[in-house]
A and B are shown apart, each in its own frame.
Chain A
Amino acid sequence: MKTTVQVHGLTKRYLAITALDEVSLELAAGRVYLLVGPNGAGKTTLLRVLAGLARPTSGSVSIYGRPFSSLERPAQVVGACLDPIRLPAFRSGRQHLACLATAARLPLRRAEEVLDLVGLPAQVAARRAGTYSLGTRQRLTLAAALLGDPQVIVLDEPTAGLDVHGVAWLRRQLRDWAGAGRTILVASHSLTELAAMADRLLVLDRGRLVRQADRAELDPGADLQTALFELLTAQEGKQR
Chain B
Amino acid sequence: MTTTSRAPATLLLAHGSGGRLTRELVREAFLPVLGNPFLATLTDAAVLPELPPGRPALTTDAFVVDPAVFPGGDLGYLSVVGTVNDLAMVGARPLWLTWALVLEEGAPGELISTCATGAARAAAESGIAIVAGDTKVVPRGKGDGIYAVTAGLGVVPPGRDVGDHRIVAGDAVLVSGPIGDHGATIMACRHGLGSDDLRSDCAGEAALVEALFASGAEVHSLHDPTRGGVLAVCHETGERCGLRIHLDELAIPVRPQVRAVCDVLGLEVLSLACEGRVVAWVAARDAGRALDAVRGQGDGEGAAVIGRVTERGAGEVGLVLETAAGGRRPLDLMSGSDLPRIC
Query: A and B bound?
Result: no
